Amino acid sequence: MATIGLDQLFYAPITEAATTGEETYGTPVKLAKAISAELSVELAEATLFADDGASEIVKEFKNGKLTLGVDDIGRSVAAVLVGATVDDNGVLISTTEDGGTLVAIGFRARKSNGKYKYLWLYRVKFAVPSTSLATKGDDITFSTPTIEGTVMRRNKLDGQGKHPWKAEVDENDTGVDAATISGWYASVYEPEFTEA
């Protein structure tokens, strides 16, 4: 079903275990007011040829690119996402050595039926935000920042022994527990599987 909106943009800081690299997520924090979110995915692909034809084709998630348009990136969010620092006078300082921390990104998209699609991207590393500015002319034009991040699979295995990179749910799908939706931003969603 088509989406007609985007809101509730959150990030959750990630702490990695020193020996395993497994992620532990901090409490989700509001990132900014969302204007746009574009997610593109890159796949690793291989084709095995046998008997003069394609015998097997494998396509796996390699990484993704998330481009967020937001109303503003405040100092505290910029410090977390891209590693900028605030000096003693309250000025945000960006350096060539900046490198933000890994975060999980959550948001929702309103669908045309009034229900929502909820998403968590488990591991995102952002680059310095880009800004486009223009002088004021006869018309008013808003200039807002854009921030781009690389989406990766997480190190922590799920209950099926796989490395998830995204969790996604439509609130009107059958079998979706209401508590899953109501608690979506209380913590980063962890996959649950019944043991066989």
**Residue-wise pLDDT tens digits, 175-188:** 898 899 999 999 99
- Does a structural domain hold residue 180? no
**Given a cut of 80, is residue 99 above it in pLDDT?**
no
Please state whether the predicted TM-score (pTM) of the whole model is above 0.75: yes
**Given a cut of 90, is residue 121 above it in pLDDT?**
yes
Q: Tell me, what's the pLDDT at 9?
A: 92
Q: Tell me, what's the pLDDT at 106?
A: 94
- Does a structural domain hold residue 79? yes
Phi–psi pair at 138, nearest 5 degrees:
-70, -30
Q: Which domain holds residue 25?
A: 7-170
Domain count, the chain: 1
**Given a cut of 90, is residue 11 above it in pLDDT?**
yes
Instruction: Tell me the C-alpha distance between 80 and 84, whole Å.
Output: 8
Q: Tell me, what's the pLDDT at 92?
A: 81
- Does a structural domain hold residue 117? yes
Average the pLDDT over 18-33 and give the result. Answer: 91
Q: List the one residue out of 13, 137, 141, 8 whose CA is nearest residue 70.
A: 8
Question: Of residues 83 and 12, which shows the higher confidence score?
Answer: 12
Average the pLDDT over 132-159 and give the result. Answer: 80
Instruction: Tell me the C-alpha distance between 15 and 21, whole Å.
Output: 9
**Given a cut of 80, is residue 143 above it in pLDDT?**
no
Residues 6+ apart with CB under 8 A from 110: 3, 4, 5, 6, 7, 116
Q: Tell me, what's the pLDDT at 151?
A: 93
Q: Above pLDDT 90, what percent of the chain?
A: 34
- Does a structural domain hold residue 105? yes
Q: Tell me, what's the pLDDT at 29?
A: 93
Q: Tell me, what's the pLDDT at 152?
A: 92
Q: Tell me, what's the pLDDT at 146?
A: 83
Average the pLDDT over 14-42 and give the result. Answer: 90
- Does a structural domain hold residue 63? yes
- Does a structural domain hold residue 127? yes
What value does the mean pLDDT of the chain take? Answer: 86
- Does a structural domain hold residue 176? no
- Does a structural domain hold residue 46? yes
The H-or-E segment that residue 181 falls in is helix 178-182
